């Protein structure tokens, strides 16, 4: 019985190693493709269309035009291309506020 278990484990390990090899090869191809500059036809498919200097689209009540400009600039710097923001949704979550309070409270020195 132990031999059967060892054999099945060896078979599973072989399958996992084959999958790992295939994924490694796929990752290397994707990284190589990302390193190469795309051809003109591919660039049109991959990159957003260039945007003129028109003002950003109006946003909801909580997002100002300055916020849109800052978000657009940050995304452009991160992605390396100009981006067009189509939609911004504000999600109400108390997690950020709670984490901020925890961070501030943890930074205080407690004197005995």
Q: How confident is the model over 29-72, as pLDDT tens digits?
A: 888 887 776 555 554 455 555 555 555 555 556 778 888 888 88
- The total number of structural domains that make up the chain: 2
Looking at the domain assignment, is residue 61 inside a domain?
yes
On whether both 81 and 112 belong to a single domain, the answer is: yes
On whether both 22 and 62 belong to a single domain, the answer is: no
On whether both 63 and 93 belong to a single domain, the answer is: yes
Tell me the pLDDT of the chain averaged across its residues.
76
Strands (E), 15-107: none
On whether both 57 and 105 belong to a single domain, the answer is: yes
- What is the predicted pLDDT for the residue at 112? 61
Looking at the domain assignment, is residue 41 inside a domain?
no
On whether both 53 and 107 belong to a single domain, the answer is: yes
pTM of the model: 0.32
- What is the predicted pLDDT for the residue at 101? 86
Q: How far apart are CA 25 and CA 41, in angstroms?
A: 26
- What is the predicted pLDDT for the residue at 57? 56
On whether both 81 and 102 belong to a single domain, the answer is: yes
20 is written with which tokens? 């790992």
On whether both 111 and 71 belong to a single domain, the answer is: yes
Q: Which domain holds residue 71?
A: 48-112
Q: How far apart are CA 84 and CA 51, in angstroms?
A: 7
């Amino acid at each position: 019985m132990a031999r059967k278990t060892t054999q099945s484990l060896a078979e599973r390990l072989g399958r996992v190693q084959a999958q790992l090899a295939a994924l490694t090869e796929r990752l290397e191809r994707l990284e190589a493709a990302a390193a190469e500059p795309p051809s003109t036809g591919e660039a049109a498919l991959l990159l957003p269309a260039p945007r003129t200097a028109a003002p950003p689209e109006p946003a909801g009540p909580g997002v100002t035009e300055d916020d849109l400009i800052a978000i657009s600039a940050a995304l452009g710097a991160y992605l390396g291309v100009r981006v067009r923001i189509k939609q911004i949704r504000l999600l109400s979550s108390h997690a950020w506020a709670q984490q901020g309070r925890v961070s501030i409270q943890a930074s205080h020195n407690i004197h005995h």
